[in-house]
Amino acid sequence: MTDSPSTFDADAAGAAWDLEPLVDGEGEPGVERLLDLATARARAFAERHEGRVAELDGDGLAAAMRDLAEIQELAGRAGSYAMLWFSTDTQDPPRGALVQRVQERGTEIETALLFFELEWAALPDERADELLATDGLDFCRHYLHTQRRYRPHLLSQPEERVLAEKRVTGESAWARLFSELVSAVEVDAPPERGANGAGGSATERVPLDAALSRLTAPDRTVRRSAAEAITAALAPGLRTRGYLFNTLLHDKAVDDRLRGYRNWLASRNLANEASDESVQALVEAVRARYDVPQRWYRLKAELLGIERIADYDRMAPVVGEDEDMPWPEARELVLDAYASFSPELGRVARGFFDERRIDAPLRPGKRGGAFCAYTVPSRQPYVLLNWTSKRRDALTLAHELGHGVHAALGASQGVFHHHTPLTLAETASVFGEEMLFARLLEQAADPASRLALLAGSIDDSIATVFRQTAMNQFEDKVHSARREQGELPPDRFGELWIESQAEMLGDSVELTEGYTTWWSYIPHFIHTPGYVYAYAYGQLLALSVYERYLAEGESFVPDYLEMLSAGGSRSPEELGRIVGVDLADPGFWDSGLALVERQLEQAEAAAREVGGNGRRA
């Protein structure tokens, strides 16, 4: 692979993980030791409690839950090490083998403990409520309460054991294969700039993520060529990825049927502690405002000096080029934004750099995108990036560190309440991104720079709120079609993809023929079906929370830190109330969407200030 100046940063190249704290410095043998301990404790736990959960008193239940927490910590440390090590090189066979071994042994532990969840769910409500009132259960009370919501969907213990054991060679195996296939995609993409700053005719072989970053190039020829190259690179494995997707769609349909879920999204909503009705209200509220992205893309066409933008133009900068930003500058900007808001958040964020818990550089075989891994409460979270030295990457860094500080503060709640439901999982990340955005906007030297930032912000809001909702509609179409029509050919996936995108974009964007296959690299459809609406939920929630901060100032900070520190120990509605947000208000989504529209109005005003001429694409 040839690294262009914008995809190689010597300082970022040194930002690599130290995963050894997860396994006490023992590497792979440490993974095996942790799994041995977890397996032995799980077997001992089963010997003590299987068939006798109904006999536990309150103190006995608390003791049992503490034992389960220790087992989850041990297995979670091993699993986190294997997953993170694999993420940095998905083409390395030993790393893949370790992931598989951890999954197999993790399933063994899971099946040994399945009885507890089933016997707890089988308790009469009156008895369960009596036990939940026991002192000393704060570390798991909400978790135990939410687990009982699955009662109508649980199968018998032998059936649950079979499903858990077969998952390793079914759903999990397909998901791993998808990651390996997509990580192996390399694109013969045009360089972002030629000798004179414009796109050249030569190409360079780069990972898919680096090629996708070319879609933010200022030169339309580069964007078009990059899109064509991405389409060409996706073509060889399209049938395989389509078959993989078909298999997982059917696997989920079978699971939903056996468990009695009303629709394909019901299990995800249950996990998110959200009703089907509230999620549908969110989706419909966003779809009703598809005029916002259409209005923006028409303005973008004017700013770019073209009649109508194409799909590959959607993330194009409207004023010059997205600025390069070296890794050290991005690091200090992000840390200063966090520390200025709260010294405590600044301290937690700096720990990611000081303790080598960020893996930044692009590498062949590295998993694409960016994420934060919570790991377990007894250890620290880790962040993965694919750094291309752009200002947008700095916003991604701020975003992922938001997840990171949320994970670090929520760790005090213990393993059962470490994570929030997905619908709240984006709150701290978007909030962190907004803090950095405000800092960058303050530093904008002229109206054109301000317009560039505002344009990037509205692009991101549209991608997060509206595009993710359109992707939810794509998922709805493919899950429904797979259940009604049987296996779907890749062309049919493409048709449904274009239908859902066209509904959002109207006639404001030209959808090219090559774009029909771009559904096939998106990991959320494979790894976490139904996840994508949580992005829209989280973005609208986070914007509302940030708006309260702007209104209240420093007095808001303690409430915000309290919400992050609460982790998932309370319901989404209770967590929202901490920061003054009423998630039960039917008008909540409309108020969040109004904030997105206000961003658009600010971008329109900035365009007028610049003079409305923009630049030629």
pLDDT, tens digit, 9 for 90 and up, residues 338-385: 999 999 999 999 999 999 999 999 888 898 889 999 999 999 999 999
* CA pair distance 192, 212, nearest whole angstrom: 11
Q: Mean pLDDT, to the nearest integer, of 590-594? A: 84
Does one domain contain both 160 and 245? Answer: no
Q: Mean pLDDT, to the nearest integer, of 590-604? A: 86
Q: Mean pLDDT, to the nearest integer, of 182-191? A: 92
| Assigned token pair, 16 | 């690599």
Domain count, the chain: 2
Per DSSP, 358 falls in state E
Q: Residue 194 above 80 pLDDT?
A: no
Q: Mean pLDDT, to the nearest integer, of 146-150? A: 94
Residue 463's alpha-carbon distances to 5, 457, 536, 557, in angstroms, are 27, 10, 9, 28
Does one domain contain both 141 and 287? Answer: no
Does one domain contain both 76 and 156? Answer: yes
Domain's final residue, options 169, 188, 210 = 169
| Residue-wise DSSP of 145-173 | HHHGGGGGG---HHHHHHHHHHHTTTHHH
CATH code of the domain covering residue 537: 1.10.1370.20
Residue 385 inside a domain? The answer is no
Does one domain contain both 315 and 452? Answer: yes
Does one domain contain both 164 and 260? Answer: no
Structure-model confidence comparison of residues 562 and 198, the more confident one: 562
* CA pair distance 537, 286, nearest whole angstrom: 10
Does one domain contain both 268 and 122? Answer: no
Does one domain contain both 65 and 145? Answer: yes
Residue 413 inside a domain? The answer is no
Does one domain contain both 146 and 25? Answer: yes
pTM for the predicted model, two decimal places:
0.82
Residue 611 inside a domain? The answer is yes
Say which range, 12-21, 374-383, 419-428, 438-447, has the weakest mean pLDDT. 438-447
541-577: per-residue pLDDT in tens? 888 888 889 889 999 999 999 999 999 999 998 999 9
Burial of 554 (0-12, 13-18, 19+ CB in 10 A): exposed
Does one domain contain both 137 and 244? Answer: no
At 175, is the secondary structure helix, strand, or coil? helix
- Nearest residue to 12 via CA among 362, 437, 399: 362
Say which range, 68-77, 196-205, 478-487, has the weakest mean pLDDT. 196-205
Question: Is residue 112 within 8 Å of residue 43, measured between CB atoms?
Answer: yes
Which pLDDT belongs to residue 199? 46
Residue 181 inside a domain? The answer is no
Residue 302 inside a domain? The answer is yes
> Which residues 6+ apart lie within 8 Å of 443 measured at CB?
none
Residue with structure tokens 């909400």? Answer: 142
Which pLDDT belongs to residue 8? 53
**By residue range, what is the domain housing residue 574?**
240-323+422-553+560-617
Positive or negative torsion for Cα 408, 410, 415, 421: negative
Which pLDDT belongs to residue 5? 38
Does one domain contain both 146 and 245? Answer: no
49-61: per-residue pLDDT in tens? 999 999 999 999 9
Q: Residue 278 above 90 pLDDT?
A: no
Which pLDDT belongs to residue 594? 87
Q: Residue 251 above 60 pLDDT?
A: yes
Domain's final residue, options 169, 187, 206 = 169
Residue 404 inside a domain? The answer is no
Q: Mean pLDDT, to the nearest integer, of 272-301? A: 92
Residues belonging to the chain: 617
CATH code of the domain covering residue 148: 1.20.140.70
Structure-model confidence comparison of residues 160 and 309, the more confident one: 309
- Residue 510 backbone dihedrals phi, psi, to 5 degrees: -80, 125
pLDDT classification of 210: cutoffs 50, 70, 90: confident
* CA pair distance 423, 416, nearest whole angstrom: 17
pLDDT classification of 616: cutoffs 50, 70, 90: very low
pLDDT classification of 13: cutoffs 50, 70, 90: confident
- Nearest residue to 546 via CA among 438, 471, 398, 419: 438
97-138: per-residue pLDDT in tens? 999 999 999 999 999 999 999 999 999 999 999 999 999 999
Domain's final residue, options 169, 194, 219 = 169
Q: Residue 613 above 50 pLDDT?
A: no
Structure-model confidence comparison of residues 4 and 444, the more confident one: 444
Structure-model confidence comparison of residues 321 and 221, the more confident one: 221
Does one domain contain both 502 and 596? Answer: yes
Which pLDDT belongs to residue 4? 40
Does one domain contain both 161 and 245? Answer: no
Residue 36 inside a domain? The answer is yes
Residue 56 region, left (φ>0) first, then alpha (ψ -120 to 50), else beta?
Answer: beta
Residue 28 inside a domain? The answer is yes
Positive or negative torsion for Cα 33, 37, 39, 40: positive
Percent of the chain at pLDDT exceeding 70 = 96
At 269, is the secondary structure helix, strand, or coil? helix
Q: What HEC string does 554-604 produce?
A: HHHHHHHHHHHHCCCCCCHHHHHHHCCCCCCCCCHHHHHHHHHHHHHHHHH
